[in-house]
Amino acid sequence: MQTITTIGLDIAKSVFQVHGIDAGGQVVIRRQLKRRHVLTFFEKLPPCLVGIEACASSHHWSRELQALGHTVRLMPPAYVKPYVKRQKNDMADGRSHLRSGHPSQHAVCADQDA
């Protein structure tokens, strides 16, 4: 398997959408994860950049993923929306988080309070 360098993570109530690419921009992984399997999935990955749309629970997930060694970028919803190509659904949101998570894009500071 190629090394995943960047992940777009769409967080939801119970099912999360994961999109991962390698250094060349090729899609390496595209799958759904149930909430209880998210941390187990990220524990197995080498540290990478994770893009998440900023919302109430994104700060919690940001802290959890940073504790595992990943770099997390929270993007304001207004900056993610232009990257959604078609209808708004979890898979499209995951892809757009991946695109908007580029280091040149503006990110929100993650809450550091526990």
pLDDT tens, position by position, 8-18: 998 888 999 99
pLDDT given at position 112:
56
Rounded mean pLDDT, 79-99: 58
pLDDT given at position 32:
93
- Burial call 89-107: b when 16+ CB within 10 Å, e when fewer: eeebbbbbbbbbbeeeeeb
Among 29, 35, 78, 81, residue whose Cα is nearest residue 50: 29
pLDDT given at position 46:
94
Query: Residue 30 pairs with which residues in a beta bridge?
Result: 19
Instruction: Look up the pTM and report it.
Output: 0.74
pLDDT in tens, 18-57: 999 998 888 899 999 999 999 999 999 999 999 998 888 9
Q: How far apart are CA 112 and CA 82, in angstroms?
A: 28
